Structure 1
Amino acid sequence: MPAQIVAITGSGSGIGRATARRFLAAGATVYGFDIIDQAPEPDGAGRWVPRRLDVSDAEAVRREMAAVTAEHGAVDVLVTSAAVGFPENFTDMPVESWDRVWDINVTGTMVCVRSVLPSMIERGGGAVVVISSIAGRSRSVANGAHYTVSKYGLIGLTRHVAAELAGTGVRINCVAPGPTDSPILTANSTEDQVQKIIESTPLRRIAEPDDVAGVVTFAASERARQIHGAVLDVNGGLY
């Protein structure tokens, strides 16, 4: 059986990086997209192909995804993990911040998904995993309203596209992590704030990126073949 072709945005750190490692360990060819230059790791049995990409640049996204599709015929799995957030109060929030969060978190995801779907549909199969957040279930514990609204939007996007994909053989699901030990949390929270989050979480811990990556790879696998349009919570019981 040929190795899977996997595309992951936000692969430079956190959940995206951990997900890349999981797929590489399984022997996949992983195209990792991020706005930062990525180290030659992660290692694994598979093939690691890092690419520099700002997902808010729609033309660049289409070009990169088209290149992967041209080389392999189709992407087997797309994971959209690229995201940004800022701890700004709603009343003081610059419109520019709102636009930046929306452009990356929602529009960037939309363009990525639309870029790979035609070839997936033509082939009759594939899996898309959208990374939302506990913010899309309630509210963000570390970022502002723009982040919360964007993550609600990703859940809506997943559910709507799932309905449109009926009969195509392509699945789309959403993973909603709770607070995770990743740059987007640590950059926007003090140690005291993180400790309070831990104390309010029933499992009394925040997630490691690999905790979430395990659910992402499950959602993309044949073991989840009957799961479509779902939101999988990985939040330690915190709602």
Structure 2
Amino acid sequence: MGGLSQRIAVVSGGSSGIGLAVVTQLLVAGYKVAFFGQHSEHVDAALTALHRQFDPNDILGRRADISVLNDVQAFFAEVEQLWRKPDILICNAGISPKTPEGAPTPFASMDLEEWHGVLAVNLTGAMLCCQAVIPSMTSSRFGRIILVGSIAGRTLPKVAGAAYVASKAGLSGLCRSLVASSIGSGVTINVVAPGRVLTEMAGSADSPVNTAILERVPVGRLGTPDDIAHAITFLASSEAGFINGAILDVNGGEFAPL
């Protein structure tokens, strides 16, 4: 995928967990990849690891807050200045606040700061990123947008709080709206909805919460970031051009809407 045909991909929340796995898989597949994360130390650590394995000229990593419009605009402007406007967008950035005990904030005691903060990152941030790329994707007659949802937005939530659930369900609505407004544009928009994935956000595999979830997963294990990244990488490819407006559940069978 080298030369003039080399695709440009952007990954929000790409400095750790699922996002970093996506960045890695896209680089393996031959893309140039730009990513951003909210914490400078995570971005720096990711860049150090990626530069050992891939050509640094194919990688751009920056600290940016997806809930801040100026940060998002500055990041996409830098991508365009360095390479050109992106062909692929993966909206992965997300937060899920928990109490000190690791439980979601009870709905009755959740304050507006938490509610607005979660939606600003998980939903509004995705909207801002989509606004940054759809015009150029439409002009070039090619684009792939993948929104990272959650099993919590698909069925009764087991461990997620109300703000997180609402934000992830909202991504499905955003997807439908973008599909309807992108008819004939060459741009596809899809949602990947992971189940429980072993990341820093999910905690250790042997925690009581994860042990209980494992009992509900027919494949007999929890997910890995690579499980999700492989699905996303396929949806980003030219081979996925007839998949549009879909929700791909990647959860080991814990939720199976058959």
Common fold, TM-score beyond 0.5?
Answer: yes
What's the counterpart of residue 117 of structure 2? 100
Q: Kindly indicate whether residue 30 of structure 2 is the aligned counterpart of residue 33 of structure 1.
A: no
Distance 1:119 1:66 in 2: 13
What's the counterpart of residue 182 of structure 1? 199
Q: TM-score, normalised by structure 2?
A: 0.88
Per-residue deviation at 1:140? 3.4
**Once the two structures are aligned, what percentage of the paired residues are identical?**
37
Q: TM-score, normalised by structure 1?
A: 0.95
Any conservation in 2 of the 1:73–1:119 contact (CA below 8 Å)?
no
**1:134-173 equivalent positions in 2, closer than 5 A:** 134-173=151-190
Amino acid at match of 2:123: V
Gaps of 5+ in 2: 98-103
Match of 1:163, SS state, is helix
Any conservation in 2 of the 1:136–1:152 contact (CA below 8 Å)?
yes
Match of 2:201, SS state, is helix
Per-residue deviation at 1:14? 1.0
Match of 2:213, SS state, is helix
69-78 vs 206-215, which moves further: 69-78
Match of 1:101, SS state, is helix
Match of 1:228, SS state, is coil
Per-residue deviation at 1:190? 7.5
Distance 1:16 1:50 in 2: 12
106-115 vs 25-34, which moves further: 25-34
Any conservation in 2 of the 1:172–1:228 contact (CA below 8 Å)?
yes
Amino acid at match of 1:215: A
Gaps of 5+ in 1: none
Amino acid at match of 2:114: S
Aligned length: 238
- Residues 138-187 of structure 1, C-alpha deviation per residue, up to 9 Å, x if partnerless? 14333211100100000110111111100111111110000101122218
Q: Pick one of 39, 44, 48 that aligns with 2:54.
A: 44
Match of 1:200, SS state, is coil
RMSD of aligned residue pairs (Cα, Å):
1.6
36-45 vs 22-31, which moves further: 36-45
- Residues 8-64 of structure 1, C-alpha deviation per residue, up to 9 Å, x if partnerless? 011111110100000111221111110112222223357221111110001210221
